[in-house]
Amino acid sequence: MDKRCPSCGEHKPAAQFGRNRSLSDGLSFYCLSCNRERNNRWYRESRRRQGKEVRDLSWVPEGSRWCPVCRQAVAHEDYVRSSRTASGFGSRCKSCHNATNKAAYRQRQYGMSDAEVHDLRVAQANCCAICSEADPRHLDHDHRTGVVRGWLCQRCNHGLGLFRDHPTVLRDAARYVERHREGPAPDPGPREGTPRRHRRSPPPTAPAVRRRSAGCPVHERREIVRARAAALFGWSGAPGR
């Protein structure tokens, strides 16, 4: 079934007309494209009569859409989609939508505005607060208090999390790396919070056992060596002869 549109004068299939139950054929008087053009023209004229701004979007190319936030023509694939609108598009482009969501998240999560976050980046000279890598992307915060500490690169931010954000563990890791890089380092003592009973002294070496038993009689020296060997190798009871 075809119908003639009195506005453009073309005969078009029923699928290109809207629904209107008040008419005998159940279709709207004008086709969809002409009806949309008439509605837009009425909207612009109505706003002019009210003294309000009227945006001329006739220059926007086909396949693009005007974003009122960044005030640019954006391609349809870069525009937010929405099933709630007749056009199928949201109210802004994807980049503006993401920026708005990030700002809302930081305000909700950290209580910081975009200006405060920017000032923190400027104070760090746009470098990671730990390794000074340029252009850090992660806003680090204390997970216990929620207080923002600074901008970190991805590696430093992940490293703090893997070391459980514990200063003592981080210092032990630094000493471990330095010890194996520059040679043995002095024992820093028991770690904070570690019970003394869990720290075992290393077993004596064989030369140390011989030095300690050098001044003893032969039979006592044998007993000392046998006891030390049992402690070193986990023997239970007296060894076989």
What was the pLDDT predicted at 65?
A: 93
> pLDDT, tens digit, for every residue of 55-69?
778 788 989 999 999
Domain 113-184 has CATH 3.30.200.20: no
CA 103, CA 49: separation in Å to the nearest integer?
37
What was the pLDDT predicted at 36?
A: 86
CA 228, CA 226: separation in Å to the nearest integer?
5
- For 50: left if phi > 0, alpha if psi spans -120 to 50, otherwise beta; the answer is alpha
Low-confidence ranges of the chain (pLDDT < 70): 182-222, 224-225, 228-241
Q: What is the DSSP letter of 235?
A: -
Domain 61-111 has CATH 3.30.60: yes
What was the pLDDT predicted at 25?
A: 87
What was the pLDDT predicted at 219?
A: 57
What was the pLDDT predicted at 156?
A: 94
Q: What is the pTM of this model?
A: 0.44
- Domain residues of the chain, as ranges? 2-49, 61-111, 113-184
What was the pLDDT predicted at 194?
A: 46
